[in-house]
């Protein structure tokens, strides 16, 4: 009897399994469809990427940018989009600029270099003491030979490419020389990226008279537009979606300076004598490249020492510093102890 009905039973079970599978698939697809619709709705309501408005007029260092040219407009649009939507990096640049721009602006004005060149330093280094694969160093990304030619000391103990003030003066010297050579601040800026000889060669080869009519390597072709995009955003950051409070910005550093015209056997000991530690000394004086200074020539160096409020938020183990001060009284700078005098 069982054998007789077995085929019918198996057929019924097969139909039941097939029906269950179909129902499950229908239910899953219906559920998934609703989830997709909900996801799409949330995406459209909450995630917005906007094309950006361009300034009606654009200039660099007082020189007009020909935004009527298709390629110029599109190149600028690219850099404006990249920097607007690379939010973390651009917000960092905004914060750092609050600390470092006042120093750079002062020197640019003093040297007669347009204020817009502070954005050149910003795109070169992100306002940090980086070193490029080619060896360009510091805020202004100076190569060793170029730095030495403009009066900076560069060796294993002292590298003034890391010295913000001195490297800014050196960059100004280059830019003024390039402006005299090319007759244009825009071309001077382009030469900062590719070198004066390289730019001269391309101007001659292409019989061009200005930056915007040149065919250049990609980095230099983007260079001026990156500067202008940074200028556009940092001049009016809120118009490009950047929201921050004044307390979010990195404040300028307050310090005094000491004149040192002798050798220093150990910068660690020197720092403790000044009521700080080695980390703090290096934080303000990154151009000191080793833990000692050979100074047989009597060269005068200005060493930045943080004011009391700043040292309080830079030194962690204050007891260590205090213990050193108690065991070894600090030098009398007014009397020029070990060649150290207050400036």
CATH of the domain at 100: 1.10.530.10
Please check whether residue 47 lies inside any domain of the structure: no
Same domain, 307 and 335: yes
Give the rounded percent of residues in the chain with a pLDDT score beyond 70: 86
Q: What pTM was computed for the model?
A: 0.85
Please check whether residue 24 lies inside any domain of the structure: no
Res. 261 pLDDT band, cuts 50 70 90: very high
Domain-ending residue, one of 195, 217, 248: 248
**Residues 50, 51, 55, 58, CA torsion sign:** positive
Please check whether residue 26 lies inside any domain of the structure: no
Gap between the Cα atoms of 173 and 192, Å rounded: 11
More confident residue, 192 or 12: 192
Domain-ending residue, one of 204, 233, 248: 248
Nearest to 303 by CA among 255, 336, 246, 238: 255
Backbone angles phi, psi at 319, to 5 degrees: -65, -35
* Range 287-314 average pLDDT: 96
Same domain, 89 and 224: yes
Please check whether residue 14 lies inside any domain of the structure: no
User: Range of 148's domain?
Assistant: 59-248
Determine the pLDDT at residue 303.
98
Same domain, 203 and 158: yes
Residue 6 has pLDDT above 60, yes or no: no
Same domain, 200 and 290: no
The Cβ-side half-sphere exposure at 132, using a 13 Å CA radius, reads: 17
Residue 341 has pLDDT above 60, yes or no: no
Please check whether residue 34 lies inside any domain of the structure: no
* Range 138-158 average pLDDT: 97
* Range 258-273 average pLDDT: 97
* Average per-residue pLDDT for the chain: 89
Determine the pLDDT at residue 336.
33
Please check whether residue 44 lies inside any domain of the structure: no
Determine the pLDDT at residue 218.
97
Residue 267 has pLDDT above 60, yes or no: yes
Same domain, 179 and 315: no
Residue 151 has pLDDT above 50, yes or no: yes
Give the rounded percent of residues in the chain with a pLDDT score beyond 90: 78
Domain-ending residue, one of 232, 248, 264: 248
* Range 251-263 average pLDDT: 97
Q: At which residue do the structure tokens 């050979």 appear? A: 294
Please check whether residue 92 lies inside any domain of the structure: yes
């Amino acid at each position: 009897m069982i054998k007789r009905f077995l085929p019918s039973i198996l057929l019924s079970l097969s139909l039941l399994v097939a029906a269950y599978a179909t129902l499950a698939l229908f239910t899953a697809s219906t559920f998934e469809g609703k989830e997709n619709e909900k996801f799409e709705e949330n995406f459209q309501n909450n995630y917005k990427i906007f094309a950006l408005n361009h300034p009606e007029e654009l200039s660099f260092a007082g020189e007009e940018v020909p935004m009527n040219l298709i390629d110029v407009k599109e190149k600028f649009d690219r850099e404006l989009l990249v920097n607007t939507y690379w939010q973390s990096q651009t917000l960092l640049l905004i914060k750092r600029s609050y600390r470092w721009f006042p120093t750079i602006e002062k020197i640019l004005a003093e040297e007669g270099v347009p204020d817009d060149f502070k954005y050149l330093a910003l795109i070169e280094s992100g306002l940090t003491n980086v070193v490029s694969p080619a060896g360009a160093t510091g805020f202004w990304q100076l190569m060793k030979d170029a730095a030495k030619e403009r009066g900076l000391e560069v060796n294993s103990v002292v590298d003034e490419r890391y010295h913000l003030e001195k490297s800014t003066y050196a960059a100004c010297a280059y830019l003024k020389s390039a402006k005299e050579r090319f007759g244009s601040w825009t071309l001077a800026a382009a030469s900062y990226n590719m070198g004066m000889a390289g730019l001269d060669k391309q101007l001659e080869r292409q019989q061009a008279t200005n930056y915007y009519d040149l065919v250049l390597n990609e980095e230099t072709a983007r260079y001026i537009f990156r500067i202008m995009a940074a200028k556009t955003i940092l001049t009016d950051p809120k118009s490009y979606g950047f929201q921050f409070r004044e307390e979010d910005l990195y404040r300028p550093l307050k310090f005094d300076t000491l004149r040192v015209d002798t050798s220093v056997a150990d910068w660690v000991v020197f720092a403790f004598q000044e009521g700080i530690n080695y980390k703090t000394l290096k934080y303000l004086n990154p151009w000191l490249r080793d833990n000692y200074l050979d100074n047989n020539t009597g060269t005068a160096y200005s060493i930045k020492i943080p004011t009391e409020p700043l040292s309080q938020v830079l030194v962690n183990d204050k007891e260590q510093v205090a213990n050193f001060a108690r065991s070894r009284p600090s030098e009398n700078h007014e009397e020029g102890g070990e060649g150290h005098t207050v400036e």
